[in-house]
Amino acid sequence: MTIDIDHRRVLIVDDQSTRAHHLIDALGMDAFEFDVANEVPDLQGALGPDSPWDCVLCNAGLINVSWASVRRAMRNFDVQVPVIVVADEQNVDSMKTALGLGATDFFVKPHARPGLLKRSIERCVNHRYLQRELKASKEDVERSNTELRHSLRVLEQDQQAGRQVQRALLPSGALHQGDYWFSHTIVPSLYLSGDFTDYFSVGEDQIAFFLADVSGHGSSSAFATVLLKNLFARKRSDFLRRGDHSVVSPKDMLELANNELLELAINKYATMIVGVLNFKSHQLTYSIAGHLPHPVLLDENSVRYLEGEGPPVGLMRDARYTQHEVVLPEHFVLALLSDGILELLGNGNLIEKEASLLSLLEGPLESPRSLATRLGLEAVDPNHLPDDVAALFITRGFS
């Protein structure tokens, strides 16, 4: 057996130095390093896990050695180094001594047939080498696990900090203008969410709003929501300071969002619903960018999806979007939901889930909080949520 290792060190314990060196010469193992000692005062140092030797050859004929004491001492530590016992004469007591010591092999007159002993030494050294490899691998795994746990703690702290930042970017609470109320709910499947919503007053009689669902999860998706938040904030400022009316044009805002995501080049796209509500004329203007489910309008007589279509933002250049207008009834709830809500509706295809969602929302008009409870958003466990869920509710006729 050829052992391709650098560490091949053998200790020969023999109180007759000449006999020990004669054995070394007979073995002819030049690639091995042999140390000779007439006794071993520190058994644990020689045979324990930190021993510098790979194998120990011990002569059974040692004088002034209490084998019973040696055996008792070896019970007090983990013996890792293989021991081979050699003897000059075949003797039953010597063999019993070897067995009592837990010897790997026992050889009588090894000088006569050194080949057998050589192969036994090679096996023992290989065994010791594998032990060292296993120990090193275990230490590497433990060190890697320690580093991984530290990295996970740092990542979790970063995610928690990021979540606080993202939550700070959401609307601080419900918005009330005229007869209308805007409110929202976000349930992230991770610390950070790819779902986002915002609503704010523009001028004297309008409220702009959007709901976005960025592809993927985690930090990069959350970063894209920050970009969208910043875009709408800039355009709101441009409306106030420069008379730029992009922020009250849903299709223009979608085109701007499309260009900014493409220029960012983070391989993220987003489905969006963007709208502007004039709370004096009661007119809703909105555009849809690949978002499902569509906005759900609940009034006293019906529950229906609002129409609209268009590609997600961040996928293709020169994407164009259309606007739709709806005159809102005196008493209604408009629910904008991310597609994570569909994951809560059980099995079935998309058409079946969209039908289930309408059925779930049918019935007497209720407050947004009651609707959120009906949809299961109040009781959902974020740790078992397959996707983020965001909901934006616009109501009229609720006190």
% the chain with pLDDT above 90: 48
Helix (H) or strand (E) run with residue 220 in it: helix 218-242
**What is the band of 386 on the pLDDT scale with cuts at 50, 70, 90?**
low
Report how far residue 170's alpha carbon sits from residue 154's, in angstroms, rounded to the nearest whole number.
25
CB 56 within 8 Å of CB 83: yes
Bridge partners (DSSP) listed for residue 392: 184, 336
> What are the b/e assignments for 186-207, b being 16+ CB within 10 Å?
bbbbbbbbbbbbbbeebeeebb
3-state helix vs strand vs coil in the chain, percent to 5: 40, 25, 35
**Angle subtended by helix axes 92-100 and 67-74, to nearest 10:** 20
Q: Which amino acid is at 22?
A: H
Q: In this predicted structure, what is the pLDDT of residue 25?
A: 92
Q: Taking the alpha carbons of 257, 231, 249, 309 in that order, is the dihedral positive or negative?
A: positive
pLDDT value at 159 more than 70? no
Q: In this predicted structure, what is the pLDDT of residue 231?
A: 95
Q: CB-side exposure of 42: number of CA atoms within 13 Å?
A: 6
Q: Give the pair of three-digit tokens for residue 307.
A: 């129409």
pLDDT digits (tens, 9 = 90+) for 104-125: 899 999 988 899 999 999 999 9
pLDDT value at 344 more than 90? no
Q: In this predicted structure, what is the pLDDT of residue 3?
A: 41
Whether this model's pTM surpasses 0.75: no
**Quick one: average pLDDT of 71-90?**
88
Q: In this predicted structure, what is the pLDDT of residue 210?
A: 97
Cis peptide before 312 (omega within 30 of 0): no
CA 197-203-204 angle, to 5 degrees, is 115
Q: Which residues contact 113 (CB under 8 A, 6 or more apart)?
A: none
Please tell me which residue, 194 or 133, carries the higher pLDDT value: 133
Q: Are β-strands 175-177 and 83-87 bridged in parallel, bridged antiparallel, or unpaired? A: unpaired
CB 392 within 8 Å of CB 209: yes
Mean pLDDT of the chain: 87
Q: In this predicted structure, what is the pLDDT of residue 95?
A: 84
% the chain with pLDDT above 70: 90
pLDDT digits (tens, 9 = 90+) for 174-197: 999 989 999 998 877 666 667 889
In 152-269, the DSSP E strands lie at 175-177, 180-187, 195-202, 206-214
**What is the band of 4 on the pLDDT scale with cuts at 50, 70, 90?**
very low
pLDDT digits (tens, 9 = 90+) for 263-284: 988 888 999 999 999 999 999 9
Domains of the chain in start order, with CATH, are 9-138 (3.40.50.2300), 170-396 (3.60.40.10)
Please tell me which residue, 157 or 250, carries the higher pLDDT value: 250
